[in-house]
Amino acid sequence: MTGSLKLLHWTPRVICILAILFISLFALDAFNPALPIGKQILDFLMHMLPSFVLTALLIIAWKWELIGGIILGMIGIVFSPIIFMHNYNMNHSVVMSLTVIAMITFPFILVGVLFVISHFKKKK
């Protein structure tokens, strides 16, 4: 594997892992000392569901770049307007809502594109 192909192989994987870790940080707000520990753990696991699903999709993309890349890209595209509207309804700021989109969904669109490109570059 050449240097540029190796970079194209690892870049989407690393970006996806970092994006999943970033999304996982939001699950930490499930911990509230006023609640019983069982409720806190249950809430934490519920908040971690998106991270678990994204990790499963990363595993799929790791093995089958084309399929995984398309799915991850579509996840980013489909959830962008949903997350935008949710944030816009909370803060009524287009700029802030676009910033949230850039941090949460854009990495998965980018990763999806990179996985697809990597698939086709490796086929050559």
**pLDDT per position in the chain (124 positions), as tens?**
788 889 999 999 999 999 999 999 999 998 999 999 999 999 999 999 999 999 999 999 999 999 999 999 999 999 999 999 999 999 999 999 999 999 999 999 999 999 999 999 998 7
Chain-centroid distance of CA 49 in Å reads 12
Six token digits for residue 8: 């194209």
Total domain count, the chain = 1
Looking at residue 3, its pLDDT comes to 84
Identify the domain containing residue 31 by its residue range: 3-123
The closest alpha carbon to 117, from 61, 82, 57, 66, belongs to: 66
DSSP tally for the chain: helices H, then strands E: 5, 0
How many Å apart are CA 108 and CA 73, to the nearest integer?
Answer: 6
How many Å apart are CA 117 and CA 2, to the nearest integer?
Answer: 15
Amino acid at 22: F
